[in-house]
């Protein structure tokens, strides 16, 4: 099962206890895929492609209005993916009552986002179940909610912002997408919507990816350090070989001659390792100083005899 379907299935089983949150979630279903139909608004429809979501809509309605006359319709095409599940409120009076409750719900600002924080969480849950998707975190971090209505996209964006979540807005093939790409932000949204099992899986993947990235950075850093050490060692050996070819190592002062000998015998040793082989032992900075003196001597000889 795709990760997006796992999240949707989990959220389909979350039934809020507070009446205001049930109304808020139902209002999201209506905003995204709901319609008032008939010559005199005789029907109020909630449409969704998922039977689980349709079942949830029916449970929310029955929990709010126990005697509400409803009907469930399933329209299937040749492809089962294209099925539409419709939960229909029958009758002008009942449909009008439900619709009026959406309008009377406490709202904040011109975009009419729910006033209460708990209701905003419920609204986002309904929005995701209506038209949301989330990429498998093992691939990338991406969550989006799509709509063709500009004002509805702005409402979702403002609702996310009111909960301290950063999201962006873009357009793709005629649809507006409210999207999130930050792993931490997606985790917070999953938590707010009530997808706790999906959150744990997402976090496990995120921790493993962070660990792999950290290991890769350390390995790359170590590799770079090794390359730098090897390159420096090769340059030092070239300097020593030049001196040996032009005047012979015997002409070097004893301290420099000893460092040169140990470097030739240990071409891949670090400065610290060379210092440990000296008698008496020397510090890394002391070895580095003597190798710089050898380099200066090699440069002087190279100027005198360029063929080397």
Asked whether residue 291 is domain-assigned, the answer is yes
Q: Global pTM?
A: 0.71
Domain-embedded: residue 209? no
pLDDT over threshold 70, residue 294 = yes
Instruction: Mark which of 173, 194, 215 sits at the end of a domain.
Output: 194
Give 135's strand partners: none
Q: Is 189 in the same domain as 240?
A: no
Residue span of the structural domain in which 87 resides: 3-194
Same domain, 188 and 89: yes
- CATH code of the domain covering residue 54: 3.10.28.10
Same-domain status, 154 and 88: yes
Instruction: Express each pLDDT in 6-48 by its tens digit.
Output: 999 999 999 999 999 999 999 999 999 998 887 677 889 999 9
Asked, for residue 140, whether it belongs to a domain, the answer is yes
* 160 and 244 part of one domain: no
- Whether residues 185 and 244 share a domain: the answer is no
Mean pLDDT of 237-243: 89
Domain count for the chain:
2
Residue 217 lies in a domain: no
Of 151, 170, 194, which residue is a domain's last?
A: 194
Q: Is residue 243 part of a domain?
A: yes
Q: Is the distance from CB of 43 to CB of 170 less than 8 angstroms?
A: no
- The reply to whether 248 and 126 lie within a common domain is no
Long-range Cβ contacts of 134-138 (<8 Å, 24+ apart): 134/3, 134/4, 134/7, 134/186, 135/3, 135/4, 136/2, 136/3, 136/4, 137/3, 137/183, 137/201, 137/202, 137/205, 137/206, 137/209, 138/205, 138/209
Q: Which of 169, 194, 219 is the last residue of a domain?
A: 194
103 and 242 fall within a common domain = no
Phi then psi for residue 142, to 5 deg, are: -160, 125
Return mean pLDDT, the chain. 88
More reliable by pLDDT, 286 or 304? 286
Residue 308 pLDDT class (50, 70, 90 cuts): very low
Same-domain check for residues 269 and 178: no
| One domain, residues 165 and 18 | yes
Concatenated DSSP letters for 116-167? SHHHHHHHHHHHHHHHEEE--TTT---EEEEES-HHHHHHHHHHHHHTT---
Average pLDDT of span 162-184: 94
179-236 per-position pLDDT tens digit:
999 999 999 999 999 999 999 999 888 888 878 878 888 888 877 877 788 888 888 9
In a domain, 14, yes or no: yes
Same domain, 115 and 160: yes
Q: Is residue 204 part of a domain?
A: no
Asked whether residue 69 falls in the same domain as residue 125, the answer is yes
Residue 67 within any structural domain of the chain: yes
**Does residue 173 share a domain with residue 235?**
no
């Amino acid at each position: 099962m795709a990760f997006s379907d796992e999240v949707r299935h989990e959220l389909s089983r979350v039934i809020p206890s507070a009446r205001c949150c049930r109304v808020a979630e139902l209002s999201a279903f209506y905003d995204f895929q709901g319609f008032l139909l008939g010559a005199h608004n005789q029907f109020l429809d909630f449409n969704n492609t998922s039977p689980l979501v349709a079942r949830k809509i029916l449970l929310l309605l029955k929990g709010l209005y126990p005697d509400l006359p409803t009907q469930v319709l399933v329209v299937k095409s040749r492809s089962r993916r294209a099925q539409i599940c419709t939960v229909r409120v029958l009758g002008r009076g009942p449909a009008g009552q439900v619709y009026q409750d959406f309008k009377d719900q406490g709202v904040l600002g011109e975009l009419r986002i729910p006033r209460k924080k708990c209701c905003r969480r419920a609204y986002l849950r309904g929005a995701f179940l209506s038209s949301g998707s989330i990429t498998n975190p093992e691939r990338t971090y991406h969550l989006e909610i799509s709509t063709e209505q500009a004002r509805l996209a702005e409402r979702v964006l403002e609702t996310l912002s009111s909960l301290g979540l950063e999201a962006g807005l873009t357009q793709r093939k005629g649809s507006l997408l409210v999207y999130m790409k930050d792993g931490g932000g997606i985790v917070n949204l999953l938590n707010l919507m009530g997808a706790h099992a999906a959150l744990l899986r997402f976090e496990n993947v995120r921790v493993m990816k962070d660990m792999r990235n950290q290991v890769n950075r350390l390995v790359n850093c170590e590799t770079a350090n090794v390359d730098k050490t090897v390159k420096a060692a090769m340059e030092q050996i070239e300097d020593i070989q030049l001196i040996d070819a032009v005047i012979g190592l015997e002409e070097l002062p004893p301290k420099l001659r000893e460092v040169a000998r140990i470097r030739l015998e240990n071409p891949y040793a670090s400065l610290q390792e060379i210092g440990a082989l000296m008698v008496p032992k020397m510090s890394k900075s002391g070895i580095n100083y003597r190798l710089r003196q050898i380099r200066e001597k090699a440069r002087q000889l190279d100027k005198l005899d360029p063929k080397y």
